[in-house]
């Protein structure tokens, strides 16, 4: 299992559109993907679960990935937290 913490850059936080992009990319990997914000851990392949985290700009979000292609998943998903979405 690998984990890494990222800071959310998007001024509106991680709302529906960035969440959809994240979940679509996460679902392409066979490994288990969890996202942790403010002590709450959810399945990173579930849009509804991701939205319950209420991720805001400047939040420190930890990505935990376990299983096959975990490094590739981290490289694909981690940068999404630092991107600006409309």
Statement: residue 86 has pLDDT above 70: no
Statement: residue 83 has pLDDT above 90: no
Backbone angles phi, psi at 7, to 5 degrees: -100, 130
85 is catalytic: no
Is residue 74 within a helix (H) or strand (E), and if so which, with residue range?
A: helix 70-77
Statement: residue 80 has pLDDT above 70: yes
Domains of the chain: 2-81 (3.30.1340.10)
Residue 36 near residue 54, CB atoms below 8 Å: no
Query: Of 12, 15, 25, 32, which residue is the catalytic one?
Result: 15
Kindly report, residue by residue over 23-73, the tens digit of the pLDDT. 999 999 999 999 999 999 999 999 999 999 999 999 999 999 999 999 999
Q: Which tokens is 56 given? A: 């805001």
Band (8; pLDDT cuts 50, 70, 90): very high
Residue 2, beta-bridge partner list: 65
C-alpha pair distances (Å), 51 with each of 2, 6, 10, 68, 72: 23, 17, 15, 25, 24
Band (84; pLDDT cuts 50, 70, 90): confident
């Amino acid at each position: 299992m690998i984990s890494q913490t990222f800071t959310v850059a998007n001024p509106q936080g991680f709302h529906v559109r960035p969440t959809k992009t994240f979940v679509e990319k996460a679902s392409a990997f066979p490994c288990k993907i969890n996202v942790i914000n403010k002590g709450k851990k959810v399945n990173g392949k579930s849009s509804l679960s991701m939205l319950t985290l209420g991720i805001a700009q400047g939040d420190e979000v930890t990505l935990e990935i376990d299983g096959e292609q975990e490094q590739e998943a981290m490289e694909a998903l981690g940068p999404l937290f630092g991107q600006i979405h409309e």
